[in-house]
Amino acid sequence: MTKEFFNVTPVETIFEYIAEFSGTGTEIVDLLAAGGRILAGEIVSDIDLPGFDRSTMDGYAVRASDTFGASEGNPAYLDICGSIAMGEKPDITVLPGKAARIATGGMLPEGADAVMMVEHASEIDDMTIEVYRRVAPGTHVIQKDEDIRKNTRLLSPGTFLRPQETGIIAAMGMPRVTVYKKPVVGIISTGDELVPIERHPEAGFIRDINTYTLASAIHLCGAVPVSCGIVEDRFDPLFAAAECALSQCDMLILSGGSSVGTRDLTVEVIEALPGAAIRVHGLPVRPGKPTILAEAGGKSIWGLPGHVASAMVIFEIFVKPCIRHISGDRGAFDGNDFRIPAVLTRNLSSAQGRIDYVRVRTVEKGGVLFAEPVLGPSGLIRTMLDADGLIRIGMNSEGLEKGVQVMVMPFHQY
């Protein structure tokens, strides 16, 4: 049994390594199923939107100048020259002194340059309206290119497709769209003490929880988890499993090996993979110090701690941006995640030279959001169950005092 020897990598550096991994290929999907995917191409408008001057109100298409001076006390009178149906190019022209009935979304006829709201006019008979307001040219009208102008670069590669981006692609008339493939992420749990969850664990054994927590986490960040099974702590089977998984997946996560001996084994196995290089072996963070990141053939290989909470925290902070990055998401590193302010409910100690990620439960009392640290060893899944987010204690801090404001990164939610 050897002592713990490894040099930690600065946290910024790991993101630089992550940024070097290649993205997945592309595929064409139906636009109805494109929400949440990452756009692979560029979208440039080939039309003006809406494409014609469009009313935003129910009312009357008028010439604005005909309404100048109109008021409740001194209405203007206009002749009705027709009605504009939805979904037609009107064949009427609004001449001076005339008005045409128009509904929201209708196309403005020739001559008209504004819409008088129905609330501000009355039909005194079938032929005539009186109007009580003045409108300026353009009032209640969307100009033909006011939403999108032809030849505008609308979306660039790497854009996360929210409903609005899907909508803009629909507006461009594209029922199918090219997106990046969802990365396939293999999971191998290592440890002689692990049994498949279907089995009752005898004393000394535990069920393989990490495969399931990681599969869920992978799925929730938009990738496809593949369970590659439980492998004992021996070189040959672990090497065979890792090589096989890597050939089938875009990324490989090994979890387990929290003891120094098995951690060494994980490193040995990764180093033996064709073309593999260890990039990170140890991070100045808690929990998760023994984290490993390696590269082989452009693919990332992660060695996560076996402790269930450690593996989940490292996943949230480091593996998720990596998955988002290889998913093609240019927002993968935005890292705006610690942004919900809350008041810390107890003192927390830390050590200079490392970042602590502390599990917290947020509780609202009297309109104030409090962050209650959920303490306990990182081998306890209960600590993650009770928590709904993380706070961070920085490198140069020796701790945080009760009552200070902290910023919470919430766990996944819709």
Residues 303-362 that bind a second copy (CB under 8 A): 306-308, 312, 315, 320, 324, 329, 331, 336, 339-341
Residues in the chain: 414
- Residue 64 near a second copy by CB under 8 A: no
- Choose which of 217, 238, 245, 400 interacts with a second copy (CB under 8 A): 217
Of 295 and 356, the one with the shorter C-beta distance to a second copy is: 356
User: Within 115-154, which residues bind a second copy (CB under 8 A)?
Assistant: 118-119, 142, 146-148, 154
Of 60 and 279, the one with the shorter C-beta distance to a second copy is: 60
DSSP state letters, 64-89: GGGGTT--SSS-EEEEEEEEPPTTS-
Tell me phi and psi for residue 115, to 5 degrees. -120, 130
Q: Provide the mask over 263-302, with x wherever binding to a second copy is found by CB under 8 A and - wherever it is not.
A: ----------------------------------------
Compute how many residues bind a second copy; rule: CB under 8 A. 114
Of 206 and 395, the one with the shorter C-beta distance to a second copy is: 206
- Choose which of 73, 96, 175, 353 interacts with a second copy (CB under 8 A): 175
- Residue 197 near a second copy by CB under 8 A: yes
CA angle 269, 234, 185 (to 5 degrees): 50
- Residue 186 near a second copy by CB under 8 A: no
394-411 burial, b at 16+ Cβ within 10 Å, e below that, comes to ebebeebeeeeebebbee
Q: How far is the CB of 274 from a second copy (least distance, A)?
A: 28
Of 148 and 244, the one with the shorter C-beta distance to a second copy is: 148
Tell me phi and psi for residue 74, to 5 degrees. -140, 70
- Residue 92 near a second copy by CB under 8 A: no
- Choose which of 8, 29, 206, 244 interacts with a second copy (CB under 8 A): 206
Of 175 and 274, the one with the shorter C-beta distance to a second copy is: 175
Contact stretch for a second copy (CB under 8 A) within 46-54, 131-139, 234-242, 391-399: 46-54
Of 219 and 346, the one with the shorter C-beta distance to a second copy is: 219
- Residue 205 near a second copy by CB under 8 A: yes
Of 205 and 239, the one with the shorter C-beta distance to a second copy is: 205
CB atoms within 10 A of CB 102: 31
- Residue 203 near a second copy by CB under 8 A: yes
- Residue 389 near a second copy by CB under 8 A: no
Q: How far is the CB of 260 from a second copy (least distance, A)?
A: 5
- Residue 91 near a second copy by CB under 8 A: no
- Choose which of 216, 229, 264, 372 interacts with a second copy (CB under 8 A): 216
- Choose which of 26, 65, 178, 227 interacts with a second copy (CB under 8 A): 227
| Contact of 409 with 342, CB cutoff 8 Å | no
CA angle 149, 153, 158 (to 5 degrees): 145
- Residue 367 near a second copy by CB under 8 A: no
- Residue 202 near a second copy by CB under 8 A: yes
C-alpha distances (whole Å) from 106 to each of 1, 116, 227 are 80, 13, 55
Task: Please tell me the distance from the alpha carbon of residue 249 to that of residue 251, in angstroms, as a whole number.
Answer: 5
Of 17 and 411, the one with the shorter C-beta distance to a second copy is: 411
| Contact of 106 with 89, CB cutoff 8 Å | no
CA angle 24, 44, 110 (to 5 degrees): 155
| Contact of 197 with 207, CB cutoff 8 Å | yes
Task: Please tell me the distance from the alpha carbon of residue 393 to that of residue 382, in angstroms, as a whole number.
Answer: 22
- Choose which of 133, 207, 330, 361 interacts with a second copy (CB under 8 A): 207
Helix H segments across 295-349? 308-314, 320-326
| Contact of 235 with 268, CB cutoff 8 Å | yes
Instruction: State the DSSP H helix or E strand holding residue 399, giving kind and residue range, or none if neither.
Output: strand 399-400
Q: Beta strands of 174-275 (E only): which ranges?
A: 176-180, 184-190, 194-195, 206-207, 224-231, 251-255
